[in-house]
Amino acid sequence: MTWQFDAETAVESRGDGLWTTRLSDRWNIGDNPNGGYLVAVTLQALRQLGPHPHPVSVTSHFLRPGTGDAPGEVRTSLVRSGRSVTTARATLVQEGRERLEVLASFGDLSGSTGHSHELVIDPPDMPPPEDCAERSGLEQGVELHIQSRIDMRVRPDLSSAGSGERAETLGWIRFRDGRDPDSLGAVLFADAFPPPIFGLLGRVGWVPTIELTVHVRRRPAPGWMLGRFMTDDLHDGRMIEDGWLWDSSGAMVARSRQLAILLED
């Protein structure tokens, strides 16, 4: 079986570091493909440049919106491939214009390195997914085509526009077609939740990302993943969002930070 995420992030090598793809519009937020989806497309190419399969650090700069249901090119170059880490960069191009720049390091998260010291962050208390609210595109103020690909359930007291006293999102997430999460999916999920500022200010529409960094800490267990995202820094229309993702076993899988723009009507 070919999963939707794998089929719609697939790339084909043309040699000399050039890959071609066709972006889907099923991952759109309004008129534009979700940023995490665009990053995942570039990672499909970058992970083939070295022996290490899992993205462990991904930094992405969004230059301009991508276009769904349209072809694209991923231009890649290998920075360095060492014993434990491969680092590479990619540019996503559509219609001759650069849309996204990515610098990523890859490692192997398949097993333990044997280190005895560990610090962990426990997941927050959450009702089960069936007791949470499905994400509502109408309340956010923009059509969410991405809901055809991702099943997301938000904690009930944070599911309505302007319902909270702080800018926070808490919710469950999984692929709608039943695909298990993995390290690549964790990067996508880190940018797939409603912007936390929505819970504080109400209908905010599309909140474009300037820069997104995701650190993947381990491979997720099968099942739902739990995400927590918070914004406590908003100034001059730019805000910083911090995020955490746990798997179904309660293990921390990924952390993220992004700089985004709050658009005014």
For position 161, what pLDDT does the model report?
66
CATH of the domain at 100: 2.40.160.210
**Structure-derived torsion over alpha carbons of residues 10, 249, 160, 132, reported in degrees to the nearest 10:** 110
Given its phi and psi angles, is residue 159 left (phi above 0), alpha (psi -120 to 50 degrees) or beta? alpha
For position 163, what pLDDT does the model report?
63
The answer to whether residue 263 scores a pLDDT higher than 60 is yes
CA distance 215 to 249: 19
CA distance 42 to 162: 35
Note whether residue 122 is domain-resident. Answer: no
| Contact indicator for 213, 59 with CB cutoff of 8 Å | yes
Taking residues 229-252, report their average pLDDT.
96
* Nearest partner of 217 among 253, 177, 164, judged by Cα: 253
Note whether residue 118 is domain-resident. Answer: no
Note whether residue 120 is domain-resident. Answer: no
For position 5, what pLDDT does the model report?
98
Structural domain of 227 = 4-108+128-261
Tokens of 12: 């084909």
* Nearest partner of 195 among 248, 236, 141, judged by Cα: 141
Give tens-digit pLDDT for 179-237. 999 999 999 999 999 888 887 877 666 788 999 999 999 999 999 999 999 999 999 99
Q: Please give the share of the chain, as a percent, with pLDDT higher than 70.
A: 93
Note whether residue 117 is domain-resident. Answer: no
Q: How confident is the model at residue 265 (pLDDT cuts 50, 70, 90)?
A: low
| Contact indicator for 119, 97 with CB cutoff of 8 Å | no
Note whether residue 121 is domain-resident. Answer: no
Give tens-digit pLDDT for 38-61. 999 999 999 999 999 999 999 999
The count of domains in the chain is 1
Taking residues 143-164, report their average pLDDT.
85
Note whether residue 18 is domain-resident. Answer: yes
| Contact indicator for 172, 225 with CB cutoff of 8 Å | yes
| Contact indicator for 239, 233 with CB cutoff of 8 Å | yes
Residues 6+ apart with CB under 8 A from 184: 9, 40, 43, 44, 47, 54, 55
For position 115, what pLDDT does the model report?
75
Note whether residue 168 is domain-resident. Answer: yes
| Contact indicator for 77, 103 with CB cutoff of 8 Å | no
For position 67, what pLDDT does the model report?
97
Taking residues 237-249, report their average pLDDT.
96
154 vs 203, more confident:
154
Given its phi and psi angles, is residue 217 left (phi above 0), alpha (psi -120 to 50 degrees) or beta? alpha
Note whether residue 152 is domain-resident. Answer: yes
